[in-house]
């Protein structure tokens, strides 16, 4: 579905959400599980954030607003686009990554050694509570509520484009919902890459559509 997505113009009266995964974080680079703990971007992640800003400044210059998670690595990714475009910014905690509880901040290898069955079940998108944190069912509900509210807001204002800076888990969750996949089926989707763009669209008839997924051709 990503072929031919650019150049892309939102049809009149529709709402396009450009879902941006944050750039590579220091913990991404180190193989550490993140969840909702704050951590900043690596040098590569900062370069990816700038590349995203350069791209959306041209491809989505008509964007009406920016929405983002309140986690540091997302705020750092969004910052260059915010500075370049000067758009209103909506900070929404519903766009956070899944809460991994006590697993957050631990190397994946350590969690695998100590909690192998639970980690493998979580990676299969089963409804376990990782590190006594948040289940995927809970995450799906809050993320989709945030995404659906944002789409409705843009639609109510006459349509257009919103840039949404968030995390890999929420993007796969949103895309799976748009595609009508059963809960847990998002595990079949390609992992969302740092700095990638995925586009979903809400049309006036109330139907959501997937326009592009995991685009990285704008990155260095």
6-62 pLDDT per residue, tens = 668 899 999 999 999 999 999 999 999 999 998 899 999 999 999 999 999 999 988
Under DSSP, is residue 184 helix (H, G, I), strand (E, B) or coil?
A: coil
Task: Tell the burial category of 86 from Cβ atoms under 10 Å away from its Cβ (0-12, 13-18, 19+).
Answer: exposed
> Residue 160: which H helix or E strand, with range?
strand 160-166
The model's pLDDT over 95-132, given as tens digits with 9 standing for 90+, comes to 999 999 999 999 999 999 999 999 999 999 899 999 99
Task: Give the tens place of pLDDT for each residue, 166-197.
Answer: 999 999 999 999 999 998 899 999 999 999 99
Residue 5's pLDDT is: 55
Integer Cα distance of 132 and 218 in angstroms: 38
> Does residue 64 register a pLDDT over 80?
yes
How many Å apart are CA 175 and CA 160, to the nearest integer?
19
Q: Does 97 qualify as catalytic in the annotation?
A: yes
Q: Are 98 and 133 in contact (CB under 8 A)?
A: yes
The answer to whether residue 77 scores a pLDDT higher than 80 is: yes
CA 99 → CA 36, 74, 133, 189, distances in Å? 5, 15, 5, 20
- H or E, element range at 162: strand 160-166
User: Residues 6 or more apart from 167 whose CB is under 8 A from it?
Assistant: 21, 22, 69, 71, 74, 95, 96, 97
Structural domains in the chain?
A: 15-26+43-99+134-215 (3.40.50.1240)
Coil/strand/helix, residue 16: strand
Report which DSSP code applies to 71. S
195 closest CA partner among 162, 168, 175: 168
Beta bridge partners of 65: 162
What is the model's pTM? 0.94
User: 24, 55, 60, 97: which one is catalytic?
Assistant: 97
């Amino acid at each position: 579905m990503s072929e031919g997505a650019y150049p892309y113009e939102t049809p009149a009266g529709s709402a396009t959400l450009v879902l941006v995964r944050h750039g590579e974080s220091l913990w991404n680079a180190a193989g550490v599980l993140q969840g909702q703990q704050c951590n900043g971007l690596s040098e590569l992640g900062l370069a990816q954030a700038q590349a995203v800003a350069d791209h959306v400044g041209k491809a989505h210059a008509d964007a009406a607003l920016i929405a983002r998670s309140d986690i540091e690595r997302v705020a750092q990714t969004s910052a260059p686009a915010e500075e370049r475009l000067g758009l209103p910014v909506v900070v929404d905690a519903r766009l956070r990554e899944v809460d991994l509880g006590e697993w957050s901040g631990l190397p994946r290898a350590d969690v695998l050694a100590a909690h192998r069955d639970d980690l493998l079940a979580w990676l299969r998108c089963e409804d376990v509570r990782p590190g006594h944190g948040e289940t995927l069912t809970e995450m799906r509900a809050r993320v989709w509520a945030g995404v659906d509210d944002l789409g409705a807001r843009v639609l109510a204002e006459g349509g257009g484009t919103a840039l949404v800076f968030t995390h890999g888990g929420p993007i796969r969750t949103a895309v799976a919902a748009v595609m009508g996949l059963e809960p847990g089926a998002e595990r079949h989707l390609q992992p969302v890459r740092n700095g990638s763009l995925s586009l979903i669209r809400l049309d006036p008839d109330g139907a959501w559509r997937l326009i592009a997924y995991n685009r990285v051709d704008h990155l260095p």
